[in-house]
Structure 1
Amino acid sequence: MHKHLTYFLFCLVVLSTTSSFSQSGKQKELEARRVELRNEIKKINTLLASNKSKQKSEVSLIEDLNHKLAVRENLIKVTNQQANLLTREINTNQKEITSNRDELTLLKVNYGKMLEKSYKNKNKQNRVMFLLSSSNFKQAYKRIQYLNQYADYQKQQGETIKEKTKELQEANLELLAQKEKKSKLIAENKVAQRTLERERKEHEEIMSSIRKNLNKYSAQVKAKEKEVSRIDNEIDKIIRDAIAKSNEAAPKTKRVSAKGFALTAEAKALANDFLGSKGKLPWPVEKGVVKLRYGKQPSPIDPSVTINSNGVRIATEKNAKIRAVFNGEVWRIIQPKRSNPIVLIKHGNYITAYRNVGKLYVKAGDKVTTKQDIGEVFTNPSTGETVLNFSIYKDSHTQNPTSWIYKM
C-alpha cells in the first residue's frame, strides 16, 4: 500500500513538472512569434513611410494594407493566446500556492505539537533517567538511537518549514509577475485592436473608391498578371530547353529524360547542399516584407480574378542590394521586353530567379557565394515602390520560397 502511494505521488510530481515545462516552452514560443510579428509591422511601416511622398496607386495601397492587416490580426491572435495561457498558469499557480499554504499550516501545527510533547516529556523524565531505566544494554542502545532519531526528525521538520515558506514566497512573487505580464498583454492588445480598426476603415475607404470603377482596376490587375505570366512562361521554356539539352549531351546512363537536369557529380553535390539548407537560406534582400505569397490566390482588388504566383514579391527599401541565397553559378541573365532584367542562378538542378533588377553586378558564368550582392532592386520612379520578385525552381517545377527561406 505504502509503495503504491509513493509511486502515485511520484507520478503526480512528474506530470505537474512536465506540464509546467510544457507551458513555459509554449510561452517562449508565443513570445518569440509575437516579437517577429511586431518587427514585421515595423518593417511594413518603415517601407510605407519611405515612399509616402510618392503617388501610389490604389492597387498598391490595398496590397500594402492587406498585408499589414493580416500581420496585425495575427499579432492580436498570438497575444490573446499568450494571455489565455497566462490565465491558465496563474490559476494553476494559485491552486499550488493554496495547497502549499495549507501544507505549511499543517506542518507548523504538527511541529508545535511535537515541541510541546517534547517539552512535557523533558519535564517528566530526563534523558539520563530514561536511559538508566533500561533493562539491558541492548535496550539502552535502542533508546539512544530513538532519542537521536527524534532530535533529527525535529530538525528536519524545522528545515522543511523553512523550505516550504521560501517556496511559498517565490510562488507568490512569480504569480505577481505573471499577473503584471498579463495586464501588459491585455493593454497592448487594446492598442492593437484600435489600430486595426483604424486600418480597416482606411482599407474600406480605398476599396469603396475602387468599387466605383472596378472594371478599370480589374483590367489593371489582369494586365499586370498577364505580363507576369508571359515572363513565367519565358523562364519555363528556357529551363525545359536546357533540361532537354543536358540530357542529350549526357551519357545514356546519366540521362533522366525530360524530368530533370542530367547532373555531373559536382552539380549533384551542390544540389544536395542546397537541399540540405532548406528552411535556412538567407533572404534575397537584407530588409523586406512579403507582399504576395506563393501559389494561386484571389486578387485583393477583385476576388473573381485569380493571381497565380510562381514565387514571392518582396517589398524592400530604395537601392536595396539583391543577394544570392546560396553558392552557385549565374546561369542566365534574361532581358524580357518591357521589363527589367532577371538573374537566374543555378545550384545543381535547383535554380533561383531574381526579377526586377535595376542594376546588375554580375554576368552569366560568374560563380557566386551565399549572400553575395548580385545587383540592386529597381525602384519605380513614379510610385517609389521597390519590389523584388523571387522564385525557386527544382528542375522545371516551382517551389514555395517560404519553405526554403529562413523565417519567411
Structure 2
Amino acid sequence: MNKKLFYISFLCFLFSGMLGYAQTRKELENRRKKLNKEIEKVNDLLFKTKKEKTSALDDLKDINQKITVRERLIETIELETKELSKEIKSNEHKLNKLNNELTVLKDDYADMVVKSYKSKSQQSKTMFLLSSKSFYQAYKRLKYMEQYKNYRKKQGEDIALKSDEIQAVNDSLKKQKKAKELLITSEQKQKKEIEGDKKEQEGLVSKIKKQESKYKRELEKKIKEEKALAKKIDKLIRDAIAKANKAKKGKAKKDELLLSAEEKTLKANFEQNKGNLPWPVNGLITRKFGVQPHPTFKGITINSTGLHIRGKSGDKAKTVFNGKVLAVQLLSKGRKAVLVQHGDYITAYNGLKEVFVNVGQKVKTGDALGKIFTDKVTGKTDLGFVLFKNINRLDPSDWIENR
C-alpha cells in the first residue's frame, strides 16, 4: 500500500513538473509574440513616418527604443529555447523509459505465447483439470486458467497502449525540435538586425558629440517648453475644479472636487477598472511617466507628467472612460487640450489639432475627443496623456491595459 502511494505521489510530482515547464514556456511564448508586435509598431510608427527634417536627439531616442525592445526579444527567445531544451530532454528520458518498459512487456508476452503454444491442446487442459485431487483444486485450476488468459489479453492491450504512448512522445519530440530550430533561426535574425541598429546608434552618438552644445540647447529649450505646458495644465485644472465646486452646494477642500452622488459612483467605477482602461490612441509609448535621466546627456533629467503616445497621422484621441468634459484649452503652437472628469479623477489629452467636444458635454468610453496634431516637419503624431486625482498626477500606465 505504501509503495502504491509513493508511486502515485511520484507521478503527481513528475506531472506537476512537466506542467510547470509548459506554463513557463507558454508565458515566454506569449511575451515573444507581444515583443514581435511591439517591434512591428516601432518600425511602423517611428521609422516609416515621412520626415522633412529630423533631430539627431529624437532619432537616437527612437533607435534606442528599438534596440531595447529587440534586446528584450532576444533575451526572451533565449529563455524560451532553454525551457524547450528542458522539455526535449525530459521527453527523451521518458521515451527511453517507455521503450524499456515496452521491451519487458513484449518479452513477457512472447514467453506466455510460447508456454501457451506448448500446452495449447484441449487434451492438455482437460488432463490438467482431471488430474486434480479434489473438486476445490479443480476449481482453483480453472480460475487460474481464466486469469492466465485474461492476463495475456491485458498484456497485449498494454503493449498497444505503450506503443501509442511512445508514438505520442515521438510526435511531441519532433514538434519541439522543430520549434527549437525556428527559435534559433529567429534569434540569429534578431542578432543580425540589432547589429545594424547599433551601427546606426553609434553614428548618431558620434554626430551629437560633435555638436553637443547645439543639441543641449535644443534639449533645454524643449524641457522648458514642457515645464511651461505642465504649469499651464495645472492652472487649468485648479481653475476648472474651483469653477465646478462653485456651482455645487457644500464645502470642498482646496484643489479637490466636490462630488455629487452620481460622481461618487463614477469615481468608484473608474477605480474598479484600474489596469483595464483602453488606450486613448492605438499607438506606442515613446516616453514613460515620471522623472528619468536623459539617455544621452548625463546630469540632465526629464520630468514626464504623463505618457507620450505615438500614433499615425489622422488618429483621434478617445476618452478612456465615461465622464464629463471639464475644460478645453488652447495650448502653444495652436495645439489644444481636453480635460475629462471621472469623479475626482481627471484625464488630460494634450496635443490636439481639432476638438470635437464642448465643456460640460457627457462622453462615453471610446468617444472621439479630437484629432491629434501631426507635425509636418518631423512627421510625428504624438498625444500627451496625463492622469490626475484632483491636482495630483498619477502614472497612467498603471491604469491602462497592458499590451
For normalisation by structure 2, the TM-score amounts to 0.94
Indicate the residue corresponding to 1:319 in structure 2.
314
Q: CA RMSD in A?
A: 2.1
- Aligned to 2:292, what secondary structure does the other structure show? strand
Query: What SS does the aligned partner of 1:257 have?
Result: coil
- Given that 1:218 and 1:301 are in contact with CA atoms closer than 8 Å, whether structure 2 keeps it comes out as no
Question: Does structure 1 residue 79 correspond to structure 2 residue 74?
Answer: no
2:261 to 243, 262, 265: 265
SS in 1 for 2:52: coil
Which among 317, 328, 339 is matched to residue 344 of structure 1?
Answer: 339
How far off its partner does 1:382 sit?
1.1
Aligned residues: 403
Any conservation in 2 of the 1:311–1:400 contact (CA below 8 Å)? yes
Find the counterpart in structure 1 of residue 297 from structure 2: 302
Counterpart for residue 391 of structure 1: 386
Q: For the structure 1 residues 261 and 123, does the alpha-carbon distance in structure 2 shift closer, same or farther, using more than 3 Å as the test?
A: same
Deviation for aligned residue 1:303: 2.9
Distance 1:49 1:237 in 2: 36
After TM superposition, give the deviation of residue 104 of structure 1 in Å.
0.9
Match of 1:31 in 2: 29
Match 2:280 to one of 281, 284, 287: 284
Q: Identify the match of residue 360 of structure 2 among 348, 365, 368.
A: 365
Note the 1:1-400 alignment, pairs <5 A.
3-122=1-120, 126-240=124-238, 257-258=253-254, 260-286=256-282, 288-338=283-333, 340-400=335-395
- Cα deviation digits, residues 48-69 of structure 1 (max 9, x gap): 3442342221122112111111
Structure 1 pair 100/258, CA: closer, same or farther in 2 (3 Å)? farther
- 2-structure distance, mates of 1:262, 1:142: 92
CA distance in 2, matches of 1:395, 1:37: 35
Percent same amino acid among aligned pairs?
38
Structure 1 gaps, min length 5:
none
- 3-state SS in 2 of match to 1:331: strand
Give the secondary-structure state (helix, strand or coil) at the position aligned to 1:278. coil
1:186 aligns to what SS in structure 2?
helix
Distance 1:259 1:336, change over 3 A: closer
Tell me which amino acid in the other structure corresponds to 1:193.
K
How many Å apart are 1:251 and its aligned residue? 6.3
Q: SS at the partner of 2:321?
A: coil
Q: Distance in 1 between matches of 2:11 and 2:185?
A: 35
C-alpha contact 1:244 1:257 (8 A) present in aligned 2: no
CA–CA separation in structure 2 for the residues paired with 1:173 and 1:195? 33
The one-letter code of the counterpart of 1:64 is D
SS of 2:54's equivalent in the other structure is coil
Change (3 A) 1:362 1:87: same
8 Å contact from structure 2 (residues 51, 377) kept in 1? no
TM-score by length of 1: 0.93
Q: Does structure 2 conserve the Cα–Cα contact (< 8 Å) formed by 1:62 and 1:300?
A: no
